[in-house]
Amino acid sequence: MRIATWNVNSLKARLEKLEWWIARAEPDVLLLQETKLEDGNVPRETFEKHGYALAHHGAKGGRNGVAIASRVGLADVLTNFGEPFAVARVEADDDQPLAEARMIAATCGGVRVVSIYAPNGRTLDSVFYQAKLVWFARLSDWIARTHEPADALVVGGDMNVAPTDDDVWDAAACHGGTHVSAKERAAFDRLIEYGLVDAYRLHHPEKERYSWWDYRAGLFHKNYGMRIDHLLVTRSVAARVLGSDIDREARKGKPIPSDHAPVFIDLDAPGKAIDAGWAGADERIAQRRAGAKR
């Protein structure tokens, strides 16, 4: 079973790209983030055409938004940690995590999967950063309260945290900002301490493998990115992971890609073989960086 996560940065804008990737990688379960749609505007027929059932969690105005698409069953859907939306105090994104569509869970193929879109945090001195930490505490508490470490559980999505300095293109340049701060990394580590495993790292210990690159010209081609999209799994699931990858090729070309690349793992049996593009890119990336320094 192939399980993937992808921040599509607008499902409407990226629908053609999504269909391309579904045909390319054939995921059995696809966790989506930043769909930017209300529930009534989701293109369910597109997913049905490809054999997927879809559960979507959106909010008024289409901000954020998370979803789970599955062709191996979709049951026991839960959103927002099982709580109703909080009433938004003001029209501001990222500062009221329980008033935002950022979490959905379902059981697919005997595995409980959770698609999450963590708040960005913006700046360390902002209310948005504090809200991000509150949201992560809510996530950790919910997992500990409702699951056991022995369960078959996958928590995946855009977590907006680079866990270590190996997960950013330049640690010195990135420190002092969000995604790499000590408190954010501690929040991520709390998930690991519970018993979750970074499934990508089971098969890819190498540096300079990222899942997000800014749209600004040249940054993707020079591989100035961050690994902030993750699939965290319980140890019972980790024992079933035969492979993992980040599909760099999905961040390229037309139609216009998301600024994130899909991350995927294969359980029990290999999924469809694809060339994720890293081996061929390494030499080109080194040459571009060398040219930029001249």
- Tens-digit pLDDT profile for residues 236-278: 999 999 999 999 999 999 889 999 999 999 999 999 999 999 9
Instruction: Please give the share of the chain, as a percent, with pLDDT higher than 70.
Output: 95
Mean pLDDT calculated for residue range 156-170? 97
Contact, 285 vs 222, CB < 8 A?
A: yes
Chain centroid, CA 238 distance in Å? 18
pLDDT at 95 over 60: no
In this predicted structure, the answer to whether residue 2 has a pLDDT above a threshold of 60 is yes
Domains and CATH numbers, the chain: 2-293 (3.60.10.10)
**DSSP character at residue 204:** -
* pLDDT at residue number 286: 77
Q: In Å, how far are 90, 131, 189 from 137, measured between CA atoms? A: 22, 10, 11
Asked whether residue 70 carries a pLDDT value surpassing 50, the answer given is yes
The band of 87, judged by pLDDT with boundaries at 50, 70 and 90, is low
With a cut of 60, say whether residue 89 has pLDDT above it: no
pLDDT of residue 294: 53
- pLDDT digit string, tens, across residues 168-219: 999 999 998 999 999 999 999 999 999 999 999 999 999 999 999 999 888 9
Higher pLDDT, 186 or 86: 186
pLDDT tens-digit map of 110-127: 999 999 999 999 999 999
pTM score > 0.85 for this model?
Answer: yes
Which run of H or of E encompasses 9?
none
Whether residue 135 is predicted with pLDDT greater than 90 in this model: the reply is yes
Q: Is the pLDDT of residue 91 over 50?
A: no
For residue 284, pLDDT beyond 90: no
Determine the pLDDT at residue 293: 62
Which element (helix H / strand E) includes 244? strand 241-246
> Phi then psi for 196, rounded to 5 degrees?
-85, 150
Lowest mean pLDDT among 8-12, 159-163, 220-224, 257-261: 220-224
- pLDDT exceeds 50 at position 4: yes
Which residue in 122, 154, 119 sits closest to 241, CA to CA?
A: 154
Does residue 97 have a pLDDT over 80?
A: no
What is the structure's pLDDT at 103?
97
Instruction: Quote the pLDDT of residue 88.
Output: 59
**CA 26 to each of CA 1, 139, 163, 222, 265: distance values in angstroms, whole numbers, following the listed order:** 10, 29, 28, 28, 12
241: its two tokens: 């992971």
Mean pLDDT value of segment 75-102: 77
Task: Note the pLDDT of residue 289.
Answer: 67
pLDDT at residue 292, rounded to an integer = 61
